[in-house]
Amino acid sequence: MERAAMIRARTEPDVKEKAEAILEKLGLNPTGAINLFYKQIILQKGLPFDVRIPNATTRKALAEAKAGKVHRGFKNVDSMFEALHS
């Protein structure tokens, strides 16, 4: 299959640098990553991941996790579900 279609996009230099460093570790170049992304869009018939705006509870939990705040742990799954239902 001939690869004749061209995609041009602009991004911030630091975003490009960081993303390409990760792609290199994965054995991909930007073209390969874009082709992989496009193929996944076709297979999924949409974006291959959820795109949502987090609600206040999720934003708070993400901020706490990023800050290293540890929430109580559970001994097992049953005790976790028990706490969720109480």
The pLDDT tens digits for 60-86 are: 988 888 888 877 778 889 988 888 887
User: Residue 13 is which amino acid?
Assistant: P
Asked whether residue 23 is assigned to any structural domain, the reply reads yes
Backbone angles phi, psi at 26, to 5 degrees: -85, -5
- Predicted TM-score (pTM) of the model is 0.60
Token duo for residue 40: 């996944």
pLDDT computed for residue 1 by the predictor:
64
Is residue 19 in some structural domain?
yes
Element of type H or E holding 75: none
Residue 3 maps to a domain: no
Q: Looking at the domain assignment, is residue 6 inside a domain?
A: no
Residue 8 lies in a domain: no
* Parent domain of 41: 13-84
- Number of domains, the chain: 1
d(CA 31, CA 28): 8
